[in-house]
Amino acid sequence: MIIRNHERIHADEENLCKKCISELEDLYSYLELSREELDLLDMPRRSFTVHFPVQLDSGKTKMFLGYRVQYNDARGPAKGGIRFHPELTLDDVRDLAFLMTLKCAVVNIPFGGSKGGVVVNPKELSRHELERLTRSYIRAISDYIGPYKDIPAPDVYTDEKIMAWILDEYERIKGEHTPAVVTGKPIELGGSKGRNYSTSLGGILVLEEALKKRSIRKQEVNIAIQGFGNVGENAARILHERGYKVIAVSDSKGGIIAEGGLDIPAVMKHKEQSGSVVDFAGSKNITNDELLTSDCDILIPAALSEQLNEKNAADVKAKIVLELANAPTTIEADNVFSDKKIMLIPDILANAGGVVVSYFEWSQNLNNDYWEEDKVLEKLEKIMVTSFNDVHALCQEENCSMRTAAYQLAVKRILYAERLRGNL
C-alpha cells in the first residue's frame, strides 16, 4: 500500500473544527456582524454529493459515496484536500472547508476554501482498486473542479501518487494538459520543490518573528517538540540546522530529553533504526506529559489534539507555544496561557506553510514556470512573516489573543471581498 498512517488526523481536525466554531461564535458577537454577514458565513456556497461505481478485483461492482464542499470562493478559486476515510460525513467536509477558507484568508493567498473525499477505508482496497476509486470519484466531480474553480490536494489517506491519478484522469476527461487542477503532485508532474517540509518551515518562520517581538535571541532558548512524525521531525531538523538548541522530542512511544541539547540528525537515524526516539544515547527517557511541562522556552506541539489542557496548562513553563499540530490546545488552556502572558501562535497561522506552497505550485503550473527551491523558500518566508505581523498587530491593537486576532483578520478579509463583489 502507498498510504501512510493517519489514524488520528481525522479526530484531531474534528477537534480543530469544534474549537474554531466555538471561538467564532464569540468573535461574531464581538464584531457585531449583521444578519446578512452571519448568513453568508454560516453556509457553504456549494455542496456536492456523488454516488459512483467502482469495479473491484473480484469482478463485482460496488457503489461509493463521495463529497465536495466549496465553502467560499470570494477571494479566489476554492482550495482544499481530498480525504479517504470510512467515517467521513458531509458535516465533516463542510466544517473543514470552512477552516480552509479561514486559513487561506489569514495568510492572504488568493484562494477560498473547500474540502472533499470518499467514504471508504483505503486499507481494505488493493492498489488497483484504490486507483479505480480515485478515477471514478474524479469523473463524478470533474465538472466542479478546475484551476479556476476548485483545486484539490492531498489529505487524510491520500498522497502524491493519488494526486497523480487525479491529474491524469482530469486531463483525460478535458483532453488537455491541466497541471494546475491539483497540488501536492510529484515534482516530475509539476509539483513544487520544498512542499514536503513547508508546514514545518512555515511554522519556524513565524516563530522567529515571535522571538523578535519578545527580544529573545536564539542562543538563549531551549525548545521541546512533541511529535516526531513528518512535521515534528522536519521542525526539529530545521531548527537544529539554524543553530537552535532542541532539548526534548517525543513520539507515540515516549520522549527523550538532554539539557545540553540533542543531536537531531543522530536522533533521526536512531528512530529510523529502532522505530522510536526512546533510548537515544546520552538522553533521559521521559513521557509525553513530562515533555509538555519541561523546562523549555519554546514548546512545539506537533502531534495530537488537546494535548495542552486544563490539567497541565498551569505547569507549562514555555514563553512561546507554536501550534504545528491541529487544535493541540483546549480553550481552558488558552485562557491559562493568556493569564500567564505566554504567547500562543495558533494552528491556523502556524501550520499554514503547506497551503502557501500549494499556492506556489498552482501559480507555477499556470505559468509553466518552475522555481528553484531557494525561490520557493524566499516567497514562503515573505508570506509567513507578513502574516504573522498582520495577526500580531491586530492582537496588540485589540488587546486579544493571537488566535482571536487570526480569526478576526480572516473573517474581515472574507467579508471585505464579498462586499467588493456586491454580495453584502
Beta strands of 296-408 (E only): which ranges?
Answer: 298-301, 320-322, 343-345
From 115, 185, 271, 319, active-site residue: 115
Q: How far apart are CA 123 and CA 143, in angstroms?
A: 28
Residue 387 host element (H or E): helix 373-398
Q: Are 264 and 236 in contact (CB under 8 A)?
A: yes
CA 191 to chain centre: 18
C-alpha cell at 206: 513565524
DSSP 372: P
Residue corresponding to grid cell 477560498: 112
Beta strands of 76-172 (E only): which ranges?
Answer: 78-79, 82-85, 113-119, 150-151
Q: Is 253 a catalytic residue?
A: no
- Residue 319's closest CA among 207, 205, 191? 207
Q: How far apart are CA 74 and CA 414, in angstroms?
A: 7
Q: How far apart are CA 197 and CA 188, in angstroms?
A: 18
Which sequence positions are flagged as catalytic?
115
